[in-house]
Structure 1
């Protein structure tokens, strides 16, 4: 038994996954059990694959950005001496 390769295009992503029996013969009950287990695992995986939104704390939002480093090639004031 092998599953089809991962989808590579958006048209392939909309097609449901397929199962191909390559050896032996399975009864209808075995196929139904297989489809139920794989469908449940697939649904659970897609439900768990949601990315969490990054949380920004109030401390991070109110922090001032760091200042740029001092340029040492520009002399200070008029005293370039």
Structure 2
């Protein structure tokens, strides 16, 4: 999953967590990162590594239809930004 720099990764992370009903701490544990890392992603001061993005993509795929919607929504936004 490639996300453009201008994409609001913070929004995607927050939305995934809310859809899965996970705290930042539990979300971080699922990805093998620290709570601070997830917090920094959500407040926009850092972006996930390529490995973390891959794990997030896998998480989205396992979510079924809601995950597919998020994946297509955020990937299409990233694609539009790359094309402009």
**TM (normalized to structure 1)?**
0.33
Bigger Rg, which one: 1
**TM (normalized to structure 2)?**
0.32
Structure holding more strand per residue: 1
Structure holding more helix per residue: 2
